[in-house]
Amino acid sequence: MAKVRHSRFDCTPGCSVEAAIGLIDGKWKAIILWHLLAGTLRFNEIRRQVQNCTPRMLTNQLRELEDDGLITRKVYAQVPPKVEYSLSELGLSMAPILRALKAWGDANIGLYGKPLGHDPREPQPGGSAQRGSL
Amino acid sequence: MAKVRHSRFDCTPGCSVEAAIGLIDGKWKAIILWHLLAGTLRFNEIRRQVQNCTPRMLTNQLRELEDDGLITRKVYAQVPPKVEYSLSELGLSMAPILRALKAWGDANIGLYGKPLGHDPREPQPGGSAQRGSL
DNA sequence: GCACATAGTATCAAAAAGGATACTGTCATG
DNA sequence: CATGACAGTATCCTTTTTGATACTATGTGC
């Protein structure tokens, strides 16, 4: 999403909206947060939940989330290593957003990711959506 | 955010979350939707609200939103041209998400985009967040 | 005649994000 | 001894996204 993260928000009102998604974007962050909402998880536990996210990506996303103060990383001085990730207070405060996303997705997304219902390109009889007719 | 939009969601539960942000990501979409929540807007009206979004970008984002069925584009056969954008029913159903984002942002984002409060890198006395000590 | 407003496009280039693959060290298990 | 689990790293490369800039057509007002 290209550097919205931590830019200055001079914009008018919607800035807070922009700021919020800025922290939550990035292909895996929202899902990671969502899973952490259910409780603390270890690195590979997350990996299993979010399959086909490479370890590199996972590390990246987790680091950014941590840098933004949304999650907490706890390292146990053991071997084999044990690292636990959990939501910080700030991250927890995102619960309403996450739940809203989940609710909307459950209600509106088909198996193939396209929103369900009324395809806007379906030729509508009373046609009011032309393109290129300009 | 690289092609989450309209990919297949084989993933476990959080997919709907991923799907939802997939439609709403892209640096301007959320803010555009937010502004449209207040009512129909014309192209340049949006531009003024979302300043420093180039017309190219704005067109892109609007087209994607339209393709995803979140907004509606209405062209008036006039000159100079007049095009109105408004939320579709589906877009309107995103209101809870948008409002949650706004609320969170208002509550947690400082002037500089960094989340407020407890900086995780501030050396905490009871230190439990070390990195590189692995 | 000139500038402005409308709603965009076109083209080029840069930057950012993401993917693939291989590799680290240590311990426990078979 | 070989293998797997743990939590990552390192490198390289491709794709995606975004930005900058200039340009289109037409009508109105000065």
pLDDT band for position B76 (cuts 50, 70, 90): very high
Looking at residue A51, its pLDDT comes to 87
Q: Using the 8-state DSSP alphabet, how is residue B116 labeled? A: P
Residue A78 CA distance to nucleotide D19 C1' (Å): 47
Looking at residue B112, its pLDDT comes to 52
Quick: pLDDT tens for A26-84: 999 999 999 999 999 999 999 999 988 999 999 999 999 999 999 999 999 998 999 99
Structural domains in chain B plus CATH codes? 15-106 (1.10.10.10)
- Contacts of the segment B38-45: beta carbons below 8 A, 24+ positions apart: B39/B86, B40/B84, B40/B85, B40/B86, B41/B84, B41/B85, B41/B86, B42/B82, B42/B83, B42/B84, B42/B85, B43/B83, B43/B85
Distance from CA of A127 to the nearest CA of B (A): 10
Least-confidence region, from A13-17, B42-46, B108-112 = B108-112
Distance from CA of B68 to the nearest CA of A (A): 7
Residue B51 CA distance to nucleotide C14 C1' (Å): 21
d(CA A32, CA A95): 12
Q: What residues of chain A, 104 to 123, have a C-beta less than 8 Å from chain B?
A: 104-109, 111-115, 117-120
Nucleotides of D under 7 A from a protein CB: 4-11, 15-22, 25-27
Contacts of B129 in chain A (CB under 8 A): 72-75
Contacts of A2 in chain B (CB under 8 A): 27
Looking at residue A127, its pLDDT comes to 36
What predicted TM-score, i.e. pTM, was given to this entire model?
Answer: 0.83
d(CA B120, CA A71): 9
Looking at residue B54, its pLDDT comes to 95
> Is the CB atom of residue B5 positioned under 7 angstroms from any atom of strand C?
no
User: Span B62-81, mean pLDDT?
Assistant: 94
